[in-house]
Amino acid sequence: MIEQGSRHGSVSRRTLVRGLAATGTLAGIGMPFVARAAEAIRIGFPTPVTGPFGAEAKDQIRSAELAVKQFNEAGGLNGRMAELLVRDDKLNPGEAATRTLELIEKDKAHFIVGALSSAVQLSVNEITRSRKVLYVSISQSDTINEARDFSRYTFHEALNPHMTTAAVAKHAFKKGTRVAYLAADYAYGHEMLRGFKRAAAAIGAETAGEILHPFGAPDYSTFMPRLRSMRPDILCICNFGRDQANSIKQANDFGLKKAARIVVPVLLHNQRLAGGADAFEGVVGASNYYWRLEETVPSAKAFNDAFRAAYANAVPTDYGAYGYTAVRSLLMAVKAAGDTDTDKVVAALEGLTYDVAKGPERYRACDHQAIQSVLITESKKKSEMQGEADLFRILEAEAGSEAALRTCDELGHRA
């Protein structure tokens, strides 16, 4: 009797399974719409996390992630959130090309931002332009603006050597000034050297001599006697990263700072920290950003305050700020385009004027170089510093101007 009742009253196992399958099918039908509506805006970010520029790379990542966070907190693009995909390019052009290819082909990145060396930047650009992916590069380079390397998908948000050296020379050089150059023997050093010489010629400053040092050299002692024998008024040191700290420390050790003023194209935050206040005291250079800009520029104040809130009261560094301005401007263009379609975003970015950290910026139509201000900074004496982040004094802020760039014609772009 019990047995009889059970058999008649229960739902069969086969029926149950069939029902579940039907439910699953219904859910599956709905899935594509849900997935498509929520698709993230993926920004690939190749940068040399390991190696000698590691400190600069990490600052860029932090700033870029802040820009993404702000975009997402504001609602994203109609609910679509942005996502930063960081990859280590090891400061190697081949590695950077591979990582960029993976970001585009495998991770389906919509846009690429990054690179922290001239050679790596050009390598990333080769990949992005051949695949018609929008790339905002954030390392100093004159080459990327030139017609040969340019494409309509290529944007350059960093200062370039021409802008930087022109601004520093205008501040530091006078007619008759004798300038000796110590430059790293690679693309960056060559471009800075060329920029300074061009500016010096226009101003009437003389070249007292020049030395190209091996990239990454730890010891500069054997270059110092010859630099001293040139009897310069200004010693102009064109290198980057650890090379800057090492060369300035050693020039200081050799007493060259007593005889000549030391000038660099870009005065680097992290290298000033590593080199110390004494070695860097009085060194003058250019910078794209310094946190004290907040005293005169409201957007700098907003950026600094957001950065302090996100990163335990730290302030953004110079090269770090590029990560923010590049990603912020890109996401503003995405918002203006209303879509992640590359052609629409390119058009929006070309037409954009933005002020997110350092005053107004825009991309010039012919070469997509960001027209922006250049700060001239001087390293402070230890006794003048108010707090450990107070490294520099802003001597000048030269407003962004197309006159500071090489002409479109000169770069090989047809009108």
Partner 1 sequence: MTLASLDLELIAMQLFSGVALGAVFVMLALGLSIIFGMLGIVNFAHGNFFMVGAYAGVFVMERTGSFWAALLVGPLMVGALGLLIQRYLIRPLAGRSPDDPLLLTFGLGYVLVEGVRILFGSDGLPFATPEELSGVADLGIGYFPIYRLFVVGVVALVLAALWYGLERTRLGLIVRAGARDPEILRVLGVDIQRLWLWVFGLGIALAALGGVLAAPMRSVNPEMGTLVLGEAFAVTVIGGMGSLMGSVVAGLLVGIVVSMTALVAPEMASIAMFAFMALVLLIRPQGLFGKPGLGV
Residues 174-193 within binding reach of partner 1 (CB under 8 A): 185
Nearer residue to partner 1 within complex by CB, 101 or 230: 230
- Which of these ranges, 8-16, 130-138, 144-152, 219-227, lies near partner 1 under the rule CB under 8 A? 219-227
Q: Choose, by CB under 8 A, the member of 19, 38, 94, 253 that binds partner 1.
A: 253
Nearer residue to partner 1 within complex by CB, 315 or 332: 315
In terms of phi and psi (left: phi > 0; alpha: psi -120 to 50; beta: otherwise), the region of 156 is beta
In whole angstroms, how large is the CA radius of gyration of the chain?
26
DSSP 53-91: THHHHHHHHHHHHHHHHHHHHTTTBTTBPEEEEEEE-TT
- Residue 116: exposed, middle, or buried by beta-carbon count in 10 A (0-12, 13-18, 19+)? buried
Residue 222, interface with partner 1 (CB under 8 A)? yes
Residue 221, interface with partner 1 (CB under 8 A)? yes
Residue 386, interface with partner 1 (CB under 8 A)? no
In the complex, the smallest distance separating the C-beta of residue 189 from partner 1, rounded to whole angstroms, is: 10
Residue 203, interface with partner 1 (CB under 8 A)? no
Nearer residue to partner 1 within complex by CB, 18 or 382: 382
Nearest to 61 by CA among 18, 132, 115: 115
Residues 41-70 within binding reach of partner 1 (CB under 8 A): 51-52, 54-55, 58
Residue 246, interface with partner 1 (CB under 8 A)? yes
**How many chain residues touch partner 1 (CB under 8 A)?**
38
Nearer residue to partner 1 within complex by CB, 132 or 381: 381
From CA 35, how far away is CA 234, in angstroms rounded? Answer: 61
Residues 260-279 within binding reach of partner 1 (CB under 8 A): 270-271, 273-276, 278-279
Q: Choose, by CB under 8 A, the member of 228, 261, 364, 393 that binds partner 1.
A: 228
* Strand, coil or helix: 118: helix
Residues belonging to the chain: 415
- DSSP designation for 149: T
Residues 292-351 within binding reach of partner 1 (CB under 8 A): none
Q: Which residue has the tokens 């995909």?
A: 85
From CA 203, how far away is CA 211, in angstroms rounded? Answer: 22
Nearer residue to partner 1 within complex by CB, 256 or 326: 256
Residue 80, interface with partner 1 (CB under 8 A)? no
Residue 209, interface with partner 1 (CB under 8 A)? no
Element (H, E) at 195: helix 187-203
Angle between helices 54-73 and 298-310 (to 10 degrees): 100
From CA 371, how far away is CA 156, in angstroms rounded? Answer: 10
Nearer residue to partner 1 within complex by CB, 28 or 225: 225
From CA 338, how far away is CA 79, in angstroms rounded? Answer: 12
Q: Choose, by CB under 8 A, the member of 41, 64, 180, 224 that binds partner 1.
A: 224
Q: Give the amino acid at 119.
A: A
Return residues touching partner 1 (CB under 8 A): 51-52, 54-55, 58, 185, 211-214, 216-219, 221-226, 228-229, 242, 245-246, 249-250, 253-255, 270-271, 273-276, 278-279
